[in-house]
């Protein structure tokens, strides 16, 4: 991206890389899906306060949020179609 920030568009984790029992981080949000054998035993969504503070204080916050949401929405739509 033109802004030069590696974090641009990464508020949410890339759910395509999700593995059981391993936290998956985005800049602001972290997810964890626990499995103890067959099936899922729990799901967690955590907020990383330091990431939230950094994102909301950034001058690119709004367009970064829009890009992050668009990426997540498109990935979910693709997953539903596959």
pLDDT digits (tens, 9 = 90+) for 22-81: 999 999 999 999 999 888 999 999 999 999 999 999 999 999 999 999 999 999 899 898
Q: Could you tell me which residues are beta bridge partners of residue 1?
A: none
Residue 38 located in a structural domain: yes
Six-digit token pair at 13? 């984790």
Pick from 43, 49, 52, 45: nearest CA to 11: 52
φ, ψ for residue 54, nearest 5 deg: -65, -40
Q: Is residue 10 one of the residues assigned to a domain?
A: no
Host domain of residue 69:
15-81
Flag whether 33 is in a domain.
yes
Kindly write down the DSSP assignment for every residue of 38-77, as one continuous string. SS--EEEEEE-HHHHHHHHTSTTHHHHHHHHHHHHHHHHH
Number of domains in the chain: 1
Is residue 53 a part of any domain in this protein? yes
Measured distance CA(72)–CA(27) in Å, rounded: 14
* pTM (2 d.p.): 0.85
**29 belongs to a structural domain:** yes
């Amino acid at each position: 991206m033109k802004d030069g920030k590696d974090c641009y568009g990464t508020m949410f984790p890339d759910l395509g890389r999700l593995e059981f029992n391993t936290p998956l981080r985005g800049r602001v949000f972290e997810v964890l899906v626990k499995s103890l054998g067959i099936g899922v035993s729990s799901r967690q969504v955590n907020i990383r306060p330091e990431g939230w503070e950094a994102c909301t204080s950034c001058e690119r916050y709004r367009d970064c949020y829009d890009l992050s949401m668009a990426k997540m929405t498109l990935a979910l739509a693709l997953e539903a179609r596959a």
